[in-house]
Amino acid sequence: MLDIKITRTTTPKTKPADETKLGFGKISSDHMFLMDYSVEQGWHDPRIVPYAPFQLDPACVVFHYAQELFEGMKAYRTAEGQIQLFRPECNAQRMQDSSERLCIPTIPVEDYVQAVKALVEVDKDWVPYSYGASLYIRPFVIATDVGMGVHASHTYTFCIIAFPSGAYYAEGINPVRIYVEDEYIRAAPGLTGYTKCGGNYAASIKAGEVAAQKGFAQVLWLDGVERKYVEEVGAMNIFFKIDGKVYTAACTGTVLPGVTRRSCIELLRDWGYEVIEGKLAIADIMEASRNGKLEEVFGTGTAAVISPVKELCWKNESAFIGGGVIGPVTQKLYDVMTGIQWGKVADTKGWIVPVCEG
């Protein structure tokens, strides 16, 4: 159990009045959580302080060798005024897995969850009121040793910041266009694809920019060895409904094990769908499209929630999905997932963790 010291701001910011114009991750809340690590003291000095810039030595390891990781979560306000989290222990566990790979000392699951809850409670007035808007929470750890040697840092800072946010994509729940990337890769066996580290995203930016110039929302990554099998999309996992069955890439080291991904798989299986986690070739997806069997494509993610895809473009050929309209399974997943998160649908799975009344 952390003994968190809380220092409240004396100059609270004005909260955004129009929740339809929040954007995503643009306006920070009033406070942030901090905790430091040293070899001698372990994780120590947990505290919530007014949100403020860091002062860091320019030679910190994180700036040069990118030893860092992050998580993404949301706090939701129900119509009854309860503020709640969705499966926070899954994010805590995933952060431990990322930490192991990046030689960053792990934070116990219960401490992580306690820290997130504490920040959300202090900043509870920042949790939006509208359905579909939430407080996006960004926990991260950075390596703070000073020096040019490439080795694991001996000191770290764990920080949690939060942003009242709306939809991740400008399209909202409207279907997006995705470009299938066949030049650059995001991950390969043995690398860090399954972790949530900034380096994965840095390596993905070039392809994302090129795709954006062509009018696509994001890229779909193929496997890094054969460039044949679908893996994930920039900020989300991806699912394909083909001839009644649902396919998604297996989490075998190169794909991020998304919390929304695993929740959707559980729901789909409960509803009687066959969900296949495995290798699915992009060529087979395009073939299914030509044969009229590619029924639905959707992405899943904390930020993206459930995001329908209306077009996949691979090697100058486009597969158009569902006539540009969200499909019934995608819609049902969206309704049930957001319903559970915002407290409109009963949480029969025990996924919701209450934080406080708001």
Total length of the chain = 358
Single residue of 33, 35, 48, 72 touching ligand COI by CB under 6 A: 72
Closest contact distance (angstroms) between CB of 197 and ligand COI is: 11
Q: How far is the CB of 139 from ligand COI (least distance, A)?
A: 10
Rounded distance, CA 42 to CA 24, Å? 34
Based on the shown chain and the rule CB under 6 A, indicate whether residue 187 belongs to the binding site for ligand COI: no
Query: For helices 259-270 and 328-341, what crossing angle results, to 10°?
Result: 120
Nearest residue (beta carbon) to ligand COI: 72
Q: Please compute Rg for the chain using Cα positions.
A: 21
Contact assessment for residue 3 and residue 46, using Cβ atoms and an 8 Å cutoff: yes
- The mark string for 196-215 relative to ligand COI (x by CB under 6 A, - otherwise) is -----x--------------
Instruction: Give whichever of 303 and 329 is closer to ligand COI, judged by the CB atom.
Output: 303
- The binding track of 280-319 with respect to ligand COI, each residue x by CB under 6 A or -, is ---------------------xxx----------------
Min dist CB 227 to ligand COI, Å, is 23
Of 300, 235, 230, nearest in space to 261 by CA? 300
Does position 235 interact with ligand COI (CB under 6 A)? The reply is: yes
Phi-psi region of 302 (alpha: psi -120 to 50; beta: other; left: phi over 0): alpha
Least Å from the CB of residue 29 to ligand COI: 16
Contact 128, 164 (CB under 8 A): yes
Helix H or strand E encompassing 62: helix 61-65
Name which of 47 and 94 has its Cβ closer to ligand COI. Answer: 94
**Interacting residues with ligand COI (CB under 6 A):** 72, 201, 235, 301-303
